[in-house]
A and B are shown apart, each in its own frame.
Chain A
């Protein structure tokens, strides 16, 4: 449980951080809470030679509502999301990340940049159709959720790009449900499902989004379920029928705790439960 040797820098500006990452190449890694990266380093599954710690950079630690969306600083802790119930789905998901100690240290930017498909927040960003701002040597750009997650632990971020802010559309008028299936409370999701439902005045489904966690090498949308439900009824049978399509097109990897078939089954069950919760809200 001892890491390979590495150097450590704690710059005070995003520009300085970007410069350090740029100058030190692929072997430099950003540290933004560290609750994914440091365990990998201690197991020697990762061995960056330089850690660029974002903890001293000001202005990355906020949750603000602005023009129908939430602006969340990249260094905002999971605990802060958890303690902001107005965020709805994101708060509910953050409250189930690992344990309170991890939530006190881990950050939204760090979690999204790590790109672990079993983590809670990537699926939330995808379902909410949020976006991130990323600063690199050539300036700031915006990356939509659908573009950000490329593969297992692989994102659209260049090695010298730093997420500075996350933007989540506000979900006024939407109900949500979050179903995370774990063996133990502190575990990563075996499968997770977040559902958002917007009801029309007549009670039918005006719009719906379903995000799947750990059903592939990236977070996924259950598009077949969404299409089956959108514009239709939200009664129990309709939801159940739509949820049956939740695993369509997914190829989840098997692991110690689950076969691919079992994960697909869980996705269907959890999608139904999350949709029922979202439709009731």
Chain B
């Protein structure tokens, strides 16, 4: 029986859930010191003076350094790696500790190193910094206006760059359009907020530096940090131990990582720094923060003829690793799953006095899918057409794949009608509409939102994404090494670096099937630059479709060698050996067979019968650079109730039908989809990073930054179709970001559907209670119907607002 396709329980879980995980913060090294960072309370200021004398006097303090003190420790600043051909991106100096000026709240200005974390944090409070405050700007459109305070005076503007891509003739489409819809969307700033905050430990032993860090990208980090420290890569090892979630927030090379390395080198003792949650909210990069101006053109019959997007992206105060690229990342699918003949995209990056933005789950694609899908809904209303009918009319048809879009991107495979049909098998729209109507008579405002989505992932083809493609100064192939031990277990080294996805399990399933070894005996190793081959790490839903394929290819090479060994020993031709139920057997003679343990034993302790041209050992590597991205897709439906008196939105049902190709492990797919949808529910209804007008961060804790919990999400109903990708031999596509990409518009559209009878036509996310309430009031002021006021019963139905019936638990609400 093959293991691929089975919902194998996660091999990593028993260790994790019994507290036996090994996270960076668990690392205790002999003589280890602890660092605490002194951070700017100002959004924009010149540093007038820093007095470290009092902090240095404190018990346990070993050293206190400012940016000037450490100027000689760094050969280079924190880099940004996007250099699109022909475009200059303004990229300011970005040192781990700031020299002379600070540009956002939380900017690091000094570091305290002490014998305990508590002593370091206490002493950090005694570092006295005088700032000369400067005017700050936090709104990206205000930052582009004449006379705005400048984040970087030397550039003379807050505009970082413009980047454009187009295909087809949008101007002609606009001129000839029978219908044109326009919309402006604000896609607000969010945090990655993994449960494990960041932590880094550095050690300097002999002439070798080791960094243990909560990173998604140990290989890239070594590459970058080697450059920052002026250390050759053979002298720098980067290890990602167990990492407790990343969501893009750990797809970064951070100041603190460079800092602990420099400190370990300077002080000759290991140094640890652990982020507090408030530091995470302040200084782990944020995501989203775009304003989108969208135009769709169409014929009266619903045929969409053109799509134009003008994106203003708030990049914050510096360029981190991928900061300016992220708003652009989704461009290949900025036309959705529709055959749109002209697409015209333009991006403007803007500096503000805020933490830089960068990749957060979906990274550009949730933003794009949000505006595509909401604008399709708007077009449907303009045409007085069913929004799903409008989508079907514009879907790329199955017989059009591979489909080249107006931008020249080739969608690999799809069955958009198929996922939508399957969704509607689970979700009866007619029954919903009649239920919705009768509920409205009772004063309950229920709405449904649909999203038919496609995304681009599996980064991937170096040719398209690398220096000569869109201009990332990197490549995106992946590596794997498969080693079978003398007794027939397998050890797999992958260049990807999972941090919660369950790849220890799915990779074991892939390798186990190909090798004929029980997945329980396949150990998957990753995240250590001293193990295995060079890799490009985990992000952009690439692990399976790129790393998994590399692994499959290496495993097939091992299988091929195993067959040759088996053939030699069984006196058969290699092409006559087949792998069946874990046995390598001669075709037609199943009694003549060997197990992998027997074959590997022979490979490691070769019997004389083994021909000399078969090398000893059983180990193979593969490097795989895909020829295309992969394009997962699907159809989602979200149902919400809006308490129109208070504005509170509750998600009452969620149905998702996704297609990421053949399932390796369906349970892991469900887990990714559940988490992805929750992430989107978070952005649409709860989460927002808020700075006030002076650039002070208002949402510095989980009290203010409202991450949803299990009580805020419904039970998810998931299903799949399986349309293989022709791009890789497994046929797989990524699923890690899909839920977030799909659900952002679905949840928002559901709220708008519920509010439409009240005259609310558009509303920017997050749909917080006060915002929804005020939108209803404003629409009412414009002559729309007032909401019904009989809502008391409804709350009881949801288990809240008990009516003298004894205590209710909050977790009964919304969780059914």
Interface of A toward B, CB cutoff 8 Å: 1-2, 4-5, 43-44, 82-83, 85, 88, 91-92, 94-96, 99-100, 175-181, 183-188, 190, 240, 256-259, 262, 265-266, 269-270, 272-274, 276-278, 280-281
Contact = CB atoms under 8 A, between A and B. Distances in A.
What 9 pairs across the A-B complex have the smallest Cβ distances? A281-B804, A95-B807, A277-B803, A185-B810, A185-B711, A85-B806, A1-B276, A273-B792, A91-B807
A183 B801 contact: no
Contacts of B179: none
B712 A185 contact: yes
A273 B801 contact: yes
Nearest to A240: B789
Nearest to B643: A269
Contacts of A180: 800-801
B189 to A, nearest CB: 14
A42 B803 CA distance: 37
A185 B709 contact: yes
Contacts of B807: 82-83, 85, 91-92, 94-95
Contacts of B699: 256
Nearest to A81: B807
Contacts of A272: 792
B97 to A, nearest CB: 21
B774 interface: yes
B73 interface: no
Interface of A is mostly: mixed
Interface of B: 117-118, 121-122, 125, 276-278, 645-646, 648, 686, 690, 698-699, 701, 703-704, 706, 708-709, 711-712, 768-770, 773-774, 789, 791-792, 795-796, 800-811, 813-814
A269 B801 contact: no
Contacts of A258: 769-770
Given A257-B768, A269-B645, A2 B804 contact: no
Contacts of B814: 185
Contact of B791 (A186, A273, A281): A273
Nearest to B277: A1
A207 to B, nearest CB: 16
Nearest to B793: A276
A179 B804 contact: no
A281 to B, nearest CB: 3
Contact of B801 (A88, A266, A277): A277
A222 B796 CA distance: 23
Given A96-B808, A176-B804, A257-B769, 15 more contacts: A85-B807, A91-B806, A92-B802, A177-B803, A177-B804, A185-B711, A185-B810, A185-B814, A187-B703, A187-B706, A262-B769, A265-B773, A269-B791, A272-B792, A277-B802
A280 B121 contact: no
A240 to B, nearest CB: 7
Nearest to B36: A2
Given A181-B648, A256-B690, A281-B803, A2 B117 contact: yes
A23 to B, nearest CB: 25
A173 to B, nearest CB: 12
Contacts of A269: 645-646, 791
Contacts of B277: 1
A94 B808 CA distance: 10
Contacts of B803: 177, 276-278, 280-281
B701 A92 contact: no
B117 to A, nearest CB: 6
B770 A257 contact: yes
